[in-house]
Amino acid sequence: MNGTSHRIYTTSVASVYKHYIARAERKGRSKEEVDEVACWLTGHTQCAWR
């Protein structure tokens, strides 16, 4: 890298959460399923970005 952080490392889950929900719903999944996966990935027991 050229000394600057890549965008993926500085993007918060909260900023893309609504996009995850929209995509999941388009694919026939529920918000609860997205929440379950997001909590698992981040290690949070109660997701704060809702």
pTM: 0.64
Burial 18-30 (b: 16+ CB within 10 A, else e): eebbeebeeeeee
Q: How confident is the model at residue 48 (pLDDT cuts 50, 70, 90)?
A: low
CA–CA distance, 38 with 18 (Å, rounded to integer): 12
What letter represents residue 27's amino acid?
A: K
Residues 35, 25: Cα–Cα separation, whole Å: 12
How many whole angstroms separate alpha carbon 33 and alpha carbon 18? 13
pLDDT surpasses 70 at 50: no
> Given this model, what pLDDT does residue 2 score?
57
pLDDT tens per residue across span 4-45: 678 888 888 788 889 999 999 999 999 999 888 888 887 877
